[in-house]
């Protein structure tokens, strides 16, 4: 995740500002990044607030937050998927879990979950990045359709500048989950990095088709259109970005780009019509 993403999440109330993060914080950030590829920040913030009111201090660690609709999240616990924003959430999740007998758990699923959390923990330290890669690869041998593991593996490979392998991971994430906006966004980034800008634009557009509120996709798409000498299209996405990110250095940069494009001689004439 980028500094721009983290700053935006802090501003949106999705994560508390901190100089360092614990393992549970890292799990929270990883899940947040995954959900952010599916639903707007305001929906996530509303759900987290409702969960905390219901007694879940860290919903991403204590329960399973799932996407049930492009603009709705639910908390799944003990086989139930409940919307915490409509008053139907059972408050004492911990007590319910303690009192309920677990009938069966697929061993391979438990292994997958353990490997994923282990990979997330190993990612925290750059010195254990190779171990994190091995961890995700072990997971994917068990479950080749685990889209989030493909994404995290791709990001580790991207950071190593192994762009071809990162691209394969992102494409496999999309194969596993075609409507995964984050996967399209990350694939766009690696295509951009390897000089395939028109293809990158297509992936950013796909991410926005899935989630029109994806601020980072608007930002990167605006940059891409400027590099393609298509300022009018860039202008549309700069404007969309500043509506989603109203303050901060990246929002200021977007506003500067809007002003520059509008004031350019060619577009100023079009703008005044």
Residues 181/207, Cβ–Cβ less than 8 Å = yes
Q: In this predicted structure, what is the pLDDT of residue 113?
A: 80
Q: In this predicted structure, what is the pLDDT of residue 263?
A: 86
Please count the other Cβ atoms lying within 10 Å of the Cβ belonging to residue 178: 12
Q: In this predicted structure, what is the pLDDT of residue 93?
A: 39
Q: In this predicted structure, what is the pLDDT of residue 247?
A: 79
Would you state the torsion angle of the CA atoms of residues 28, 32, 34, 36, taken in this order, to the nearest 10 degrees? Answer: 180
% of the chain at pLDDT higher than 70: 56
Q: In this predicted structure, what is the pLDDT of residue 24?
A: 55
Residues 238/221, Cβ–Cβ less than 8 Å = no
Query: What pTM does this model have?
Result: 0.64
% of the chain at pLDDT higher than 90: 39
State the pLDDT confidence band at 117, using cuts at 50, 70 and 90. confident
Q: Give SS3 for 137.
A: helix
The residue-averaged pLDDT of 76-100 equals 45
Q: Give SS3 for 23.
A: helix
Angle between helix 163-176 and 147-159 (nearest 10): 170
Q: Which residues pair with 82 in a beta bridge?
A: 75
Q: Residues 68, 51, 80, CA angle at the centre, nearest 5°?
A: 45
The residue-averaged pLDDT of 182-209 equals 95
Q: In this predicted structure, what is the pLDDT of residue 96?
A: 41
| Mean pLDDT, the chain, whole residue set | 75
Top pLDDT among 103 and 218 is at 218
**How far, in Å, CA of 62 to CA of 126, rounded?**
27
Does the pLDDT of residue 103 top 50, yes or no?
no
């Amino acid at each position: 995740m980028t500094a721009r993403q983290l700053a935006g999440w802090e501003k949106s109330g999705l994560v508390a500002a901190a100089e360092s993060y614990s393992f549970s914080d890292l799990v929270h950030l990883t899940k947040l990044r995954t959900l952010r590829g599916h639903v707007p920040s305001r929906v996530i913030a509303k759900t987290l607030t409702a969960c905390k009111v219901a007694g879940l201090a860290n919903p991403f660690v204590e329960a399973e937050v799932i996407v049930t609709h492009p603009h709705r999240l639910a908390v799944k616990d003990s086989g139930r998927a409940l919307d915490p924003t409509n008053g139907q959430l059972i408050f004492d999740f911990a007590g319910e879990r303690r009192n309920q007998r677990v009938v069966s758990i697929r061993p391979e699923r438990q292994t997958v979950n353990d490997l994923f959390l282990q990979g997330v923990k190993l990612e925290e330290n750059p010195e254990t990045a190779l171990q994190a890669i091995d961890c995700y690869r072990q997971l994917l041998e068990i479950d080749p359709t685990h889209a989030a593991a493909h994404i995290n593996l791709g990001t580790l490979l991207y950071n190593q500048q192994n762009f071809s392998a990162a691209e394969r991971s992102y494409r496999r994430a999309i194969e596993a989950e075609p409507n995964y906006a984050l996967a399209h966004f990350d694939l766009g980034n690696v295509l951009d990095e390897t000089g395939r800008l028109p293809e990158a634009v297509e992936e950013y557009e796909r991410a926005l088709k899935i989630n029109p509120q994806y601020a980072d996709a608007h930002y990167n798409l605006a940059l891409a259109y400027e590099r393609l000498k298509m300022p009018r299209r860039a202008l549309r996405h700069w404007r969309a970005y500043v509506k989603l990110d109203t303050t901060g250095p990246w929002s200021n940069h977007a506003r500067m780009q809007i002003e520059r494009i509008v004031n350019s001689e060619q577009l100023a004439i079009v703008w005044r019509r």
